[in-house]
Structure 1
């Protein structure tokens, strides 16, 4: 298995080629059937050349969100049952999110990968097995990143009815290095941090997580939110959080790479 820059670009290009033009831009998907649902307010195209690194917890810039706009992101899946519960909550409110998948989990549960994209969500990468990349050599770290990308590609291979994975990546534990950041930027892969999170890796009840998350949301008023779809407490908290967003006039933004629209236009 190749682990060089060409391997990453080839994997992404292959994934983009898998999708028909009509499904490459999620903005054109069917309208929500529930008129009282929270819904997805808008689609934001993210160009890695303009936004190579985003998320104020790690970097000086974030996405150009308006007041009371949030981007929902989930890490570490997919995991059967728990990710299913997250997807059910999102679907009930016609909300789209981004899932940064661990390659090993994608390889173990390719049906879950396909379900995520079938429901219109965006997929990003989160390495092969969630290591501390800053503790590895540059070659080992790149190989782990590439293996994760290729695992997602294998899960989607032959599924012409799906939206492809995207050039979005998140470092496990947010442990980046200048060298890896530069390599990913040169390869056209945007690195996502977060603006705030629910700390859902800490033992707490869903009610406690909701209180913590909404408190941080009210302080920030907008931003990229980090959650973890394998966490049952988050899956159980999510319906109440989505209701909170609607009741307090927040709006969900779905992110897609700008290149997706370019490919769609070119294939028409």
Structure 2
């Protein structure tokens, strides 16, 4: 049954890949607004509405988002964090770029002002568990892993919107360490929550200079040609590297796609 649902999800994604580019052509101003005072800014080329319950990112799943050649989705994990998250938000704002932040619930609870800034500046706030357990969710008992997921989503929403409900405002989740189980994937899919892996990453959990990280991620992007890229907004080297990375994307002709939920439907727990 799960394979059938996944197959249906990817059929929807294929259809979406045909519809969205035409919509962007029909309404170019809405899809890619100008960056005030920065005609040379990278900007955000278009917004992609992601269907509920999909599982995307080729590092973890068979398929990914229906991106065109040269399109990139920026994602950041583990924040919000003092100084580094703010510096990354400054860099994104300067280039009129929108990204998706997968928050740790305890960090969102500790720094709600940064979560609210992400919302105010038009970014997507998504979820990454309550504590990012060292054992990973896959090694916890199923009920405990579900509690980690649910507590994180509630803490993120409370920090972002001042209220949390039975359903997350943005039904996007990424597993810490990409460590999922079939049972957890089935649980999230049944709730209409999309699970994001990545197509490539900056490996910024390793010690390196900003210049080394920039060279590495550009090499991987050029090899992939498109995709969902994973950074961590808790890393000083990433915060220092992001302005140069965004300028390099503009110079090399890449385009930013901002992901948002297509819709949110109440689902049974």
Same fold (TM > 0.5): yes
| Cα distance, 1:29–1:218 mapped onto 2, change above 3 Å | closer
Verify: 1:230 aligned to 2:238, yes or no.
Answer: no
Q: Per chain length, whose mean CA-contact separation is higher, i.e. which structure has more relative contact order (CA < 8 Å, sep 6+)? A: 1
Unaligned runs of 5+ in 2: 1-29
Unaligned runs of 5+ in 1: 1-26, 263-268
Verify: 1:125 aligned to 2:127, yes or no.
Answer: yes
Q: Report the alpha carbon displacement of residue 80 of structure 1 after superposing the two structures with TM.
A: 1.8
Write the deviation string for residues 47-103 of structure 1: whole angstroms up to 9, x where unpaired. Answer: 024xx1000000001000000000000000001211000000000100000000000
CA–CA distance in 2 between the matches of 1:214 and 1:250? 11
The number of equivalent residue pairs is: 229
| Cα distance, 1:193–1:237 mapped onto 2, change above 3 Å | same
CA–CA distance in 1 between the matches of 2:94 and 2:245? 13
Is contact 2:56–2:198 with CA below 8 Å preserved after alignment?
Answer: yes
CA–CA distance in 1 between the matches of 2:104 and 2:162? 20
| 2:205 counterpart residue number | 201
Q: Report the alpha carbon displacement of residue 31 of structure 1 after superposing the two structures with TM.
A: 4.4
C-alpha RMSD over aligned residues: 1.7
Write the deviation string for residues 148-171 of structure 1: whole angstroms up to 9, x where unpaired. Answer: 011012113448xxxx94100000
| 1:32 counterpart residue number | 35
SS of alignment partner, residue 173 of structure 1:
helix
Q: Report the alpha carbon displacement of residue 30 of structure 1 after superposing the two structures with TM.
A: 6.7
| 2:96 counterpart residue number | 94
| Cα distance, 1:165–1:37 mapped onto 2, change above 3 Å | farther
Is contact 1:152–1:165 with CA below 8 Å preserved after alignment?
Answer: no
TM-score (norm 1): 0.82
